[in-house]
Structure 1
Amino acid sequence: MSYIVNVRTVNHGQIKKAERLVAAAGGTVVQRYEEIGVLVVQSTRSSFLSSLRSGDKGTIASVGPTRTVPVKEAPGAGVGRPVPPGHRKLADVEGTYTGTPSGAAPGQDPMEPDQWNNRLINADKAHQITDGDRKVTVAIVDSGIEADHPDLKANIVPSLSVNCTVSGVPDSAGWEATTSSHGTHVAGTVAAARNGVGIVGVAPAVKLASVKVVNDDGFIYPEYALCGTMWTARKQIPVANHSYYIDPFQFWCGDQVDQAPVVEAMRRAYAFADKRGVVNAAAAGNSAYDLANKGTDDTSPNDSTPIQRTINNSCLDIPTELPVVVTVSAIDSASALASFSNYGEGVIDVAAPGRRILSTYMGQRWMLLSGTSMASPHVAGVLALLKGTHPNATPQQLVALLKAQATDHACPAGDARCTGTPANNAFYGDGIVDALKAVKR
């Protein structure tokens, strides 16, 4: 099994002491993050968890499993478990692009006229000023990017790309997309190049790092996400997009002994990334769920047998509900909240297009997809534009600008789910993001 171990005091001596305790309990350290006091550990010993928990509490703050099934990946090993039915945290396929690229104005790429999403957030107007700063890189923390896609290959930076899906150990090989087009689609929304082919991203001149955290079965276990987040932090990649929730729980509960250690480890990782200058955008989720008023969850754990459980607001959709993450809801072409989008007053930060979004797809194709997964990369693109305009801004300053520049949107009349004011409510947060304002100094 795989475990997260959090030390109580973050320093080298405590990490080394924790490693000795892990070994004594029958565990092997797979990955260490000394900067945040977290170890990823594996053990075949059934007594490992109870032994470590009953040991030196002055050193070990918490320890918990990362999944409900045994680890099967190992360096060089393949994967093959089918994705469980209903495992729908990633996007729904809406269909292959069947439009006839025509009517593009001079300077436009062929499919730009069909990108209503860019027009809604004024990205087309922003592009009249700038396509973004090529010194800015956005990490696509996802299922990998198709390396030779004609709309993406010029913007991918292999040296900043990584594969985290083998027990959460960073590997410079294997970051390309394999079984899922999800990351490729997300990448195109952020930074498909202006090159006379296909579409144009929100920030078409910025660079892309492929940070692969989705394995070939479609799972994003905590050690994968931890690896991806720490990679962006250590490399100081200024913007990162996270269009997923961490498996196997849709909501990780801080008041449950087996789940709280993952909550704490991820909180530490994102706080460290924020300190290192990384601003993170994340999808709110596709369950039409009120994240501000949690009650039940019947989808978890999704790697074994889901159970009906009662939850509360200490239970978090991770990473989107972590403190330093921009939480993004999805809207349609009429600026209405998409039927699938999660929402919640005080949880949603901003809104962006997420219904029938045309973007890049594996096989050197383009596809229409829907989901909050499609909304979040619009925000990552706007944050990349903001970083180009304000290169010395901290993540907190970039988020403040993003929210201040967003267009307020009132709740729809008669919808009791949407509480709050036009300036900040459960559906739109601080409003719909605006790319044009982002590029004006």
Structure 2
Amino acid sequence: MNRHAPIRRLAEAASAVAVGGALLTGAASAAPTAEPPSTPVPVATPDGQVFSYVLNAKHANPGQTRLVSRAVERSGGTVVQAWPQIGVVVAHSDRSAFRADVARSAGKALESVGVTRTVPVSEVAPATGSSARSSVAGDARTTRKATDVESTSSRPVPTDPREVEQWDMQMIKADHAHDITDGSRKVLVGVLDSGIDADHPDLVANLDVRSSVNCTDSGRPSKTGWEPTTSDHGTHVAGTIAAARNGVGIVGVAPKVRLASVKVVNDDGFIYPEYAVCGFVEAGLKKMDVTNNSYFVDPFEFWCDDQPDQHAAKEAVRRAVTWSTKQGVVHAAAAGNSGKDLANKTSFQDTASPNDSTAVARTINSGCQDIPTELDGVVTVSSVERFPVDTLGSRLSSFSNRGLGVIDVAAPGSRILSTVVADNGYGLKSGTSMASPHVAGVLALMKSAHPTWKPAKLIEKLRQQADDKACSAATAGVPCVGTTRNNSYFGEGMVDALDAVS
């Protein structure tokens, strides 16, 4: 399945892909000279049509962010959201020359500016720049870190009825980890996705409503609208992380930790850069402990540094991830479902981008990345399936991306049973989207057991504790590369929930 929420349709404005391009005032990270440049995807922004832009200040501080915001207004744009913590401004404009004009106006205060989509915005137009919000508090999670591990070794609640069907929990030893702890209520996991069903009986006890946020209104945080509307993808992900041990349905990897719904998927199924930026910054502002990211940022499967528009959007997301990590948030992300080798970008073409208008067959290079999963400090998770069937043996799922030095760990991702919106029930889904929340859950257990550990140590221990998994027979005709300790299929191995809390 697609890493995104399954409600995905192409926008009708295919003519938006034409001439034009973002202005890049700073030096973008160029691809190695031995590699070909990526195929240009210029985006036309005709007069009279409102497009969305991200602008990155040269330096991430309030002063330069204000300078960039003023340049937006002088250039005929509207400031939608300013993030002074990372020096990023989100703007709308209906002027074709906006990119060039704002670059001239901002001068040395601006690092880069780029359009975030290949189609006009569909959201309601924001207020004028003078009333735009500059968030200093935001998305999910209001609680502090845990100070102890909440033992559940003598828990009185009986095994949940469908727990016997959860082979995935057995594969990562979550069932044994639960004999030590179900996690701490002081740990909060932000689910950056399509929303969490607020009244599902297996989720309601763990859902932190006050900490939940909607980022799909042009990238502005809102306390309303964070529940699912067109997709149950986020609800399924949430159940894998933290479905409660309550005698009902299933059990999550960390059934006592709290969940925050951080909605970054709009009703058409798109996750645009400004939505992701909002989600990550809000996670940092509210001191979340873990986020799960089962998506790639639209409209490009791979964002290329040598394309000015793409560089600007990628830089904005990178800054948001880096800043939130410094606030203590650790991030897990799905590797992707294209069956590609992420360590060898010149071995294939990207034929699915841009996905909000008309896709083109693109040559890409090592400066092109699937974000957020390939950004520094993000745990990249590949997917495995049961093999042989009805055993706890495993092999790489046929759809899973791979890559030596790219994949950190592996987790179950094929035919995973979890919570869905329909009838407050349960269903099977497949994808690296389903693998990543297993790792987010393990990180939540680890944070429960070791509340003082920072993101770098959590990732280090996660990788060290993963069960080594040797290269297996080629999946989809693609051989595995590397050693038992670290290879292109499984990274450093199968994530281990028991070691995380032992």
Report the TM-score when normalising by structure 2: 0.81
Shift of 1:416: 5.4
Shift of 1:106: 8.2
For 1:238, the aligned partner's letter is D
For residues 230-249 of structure 1, what are the structure 2 equivalents within 5 Å?
230-249=281-300
1:34-56 deviations in Å (ceiling 9; x for gaps) = 01100001001111012223444
- Whether the 8 Å contact between 2:157 and 2:245 is mirrored in structure 1 is no
| In structure 2, distance between residues paired with 1:360 and 1:177 | 13
| In structure 1, distance between residues paired with 2:368 and 2:105 | 27
For residues 59-78 of structure 1, what are the structure 2 equivalents within 5 Å?
59-74=109-124
Shift of 1:376: 0.1
Aligned to 1:96: none
1:231-285 deviations in Å (ceiling 9; x for gaps) = 1010010000000000000000011111000111111111101100000000000
**4+ long deviations beyond 4 Å:** 413-416
> Which of 407, 410, 414 in structure 1 is aligned with 2:470?
410
Aligned to 2:364: 311
| In structure 2, distance between residues paired with 1:50 and 1:174 | 35
| In structure 2, distance between residues paired with 1:357 and 1:193 | 17
Matched position secondary structure for 2:231: coil
Cα 1:75–1:209 shift into 2, 3 Å: farther
1:87-144 deviations in Å (ceiling 9; x for gaps) = xxxxxxxxxxxxxxxxxx9821000000000000000011111111111011010000
1:19 aligns with 2:72: no
Aligned to 1:437: 499
- Whether the 8 Å contact between 2:244 and 2:252 is mirrored in structure 1 is yes
Shift of 1:412: 1.4
| In structure 2, distance between residues paired with 1:74 and 1:413 | 51
- Whether the 8 Å contact between 2:157 and 2:246 is mirrored in structure 1 is no
> Which of 277, 282, 286 in structure 1 is aligned with 2:337?
286
For 1:392, the aligned partner's letter is T
Matched position secondary structure for 1:154: helix
Aligned to 1:3: 53
For 2:420, the aligned partner's letter is Y
1:392 aligns with 2:452: yes
1:322 aligns with 2:375: yes
Aligned to 1:49: 99
| In structure 2, distance between residues paired with 1:416 and 1:72 | 40
| In structure 2, distance between residues paired with 1:234 and 1:197 | 34
1:113 aligns with 2:175: no
Shift of 1:413: 4.3
For 1:129, the aligned partner's letter is I
1:333 aligns with 2:386: yes
For 2:484, the aligned partner's letter is P
Aligned to 1:372: 432
For 1:60, the aligned partner's letter is L
Task: Give the number of aligned pairs.
Answer: 412
1:297 aligns with 2:350: yes
Aligned to 2:416: 357
Matched position secondary structure for 2:220: coil
| In structure 2, distance between residues paired with 1:242 and 1:294 | 22
For 2:55, the aligned partner's letter is V
Pairwise CA RMSD of aligned residues? 1.4
| In structure 1, distance between residues paired with 2:188 and 2:272 | 25
- Whether the 8 Å contact between 1:138 and 1:384 is mirrored in structure 2 is yes
1:219 aligns with 2:270: yes
Aligned to 2:189: 138
1:265 aligns with 2:316: yes
1:153-192 deviations in Å (ceiling 9; x for gaps) = 0100011100111101100011111110000000000000
Matched position secondary structure for 1:2: strand
- Whether the 8 Å contact between 1:120 and 1:333 is mirrored in structure 2 is no
For 2:298, the aligned partner's letter is D
- Whether the 8 Å contact between 1:29 and 1:40 is mirrored in structure 2 is yes
Matched position secondary structure for 2:182: coil
> Which of 411, 427, 430 in structure 1 is aligned with 2:489?
427
| In structure 2, distance between residues paired with 1:371 and 1:183 | 13
Aligned to 1:154: 205
For 1:344, the aligned partner's letter is G
For 2:357, the aligned partner's letter is S
Same amino acid, percent of matched pairs: 58
For 1:146, the aligned partner's letter is D
1:205-238 deviations in Å (ceiling 9; x for gaps) = 1000000000111000111111111110100100
| In structure 2, distance between residues paired with 1:56 and 1:382 | 45
Cα 1:21–1:75 shift into 2, 3 Å: closer
| In structure 2, distance between residues paired with 1:306 and 1:182 | 24
Report the TM-score when normalising by structure 1: 0.92
> Which of 306, 325, 335 in structure 2 is aligned with 1:274?
325
- Whether the 8 Å contact between 1:67 and 1:221 is mirrored in structure 2 is yes
Shift of 1:75: 6.8
Cα 1:106–1:55 shift into 2, 3 Å: closer
For 1:436, the aligned partner's letter is L
- Whether the 8 Å contact between 2:293 and 2:436 is mirrored in structure 1 is yes
| In structure 1, distance between residues paired with 2:479 and 2:305 | 25
Structure 1: gaps spanning 5 or more residues: 77-104
1:40 aligns with 2:90: yes
1:406-425 deviations in Å (ceiling 9; x for gaps) = 00101114675311111111
Structure 2: gaps spanning 5 or more residues: 1-50, 127-155, 388-393
| In structure 1, distance between residues paired with 2:105 and 2:431 | 45
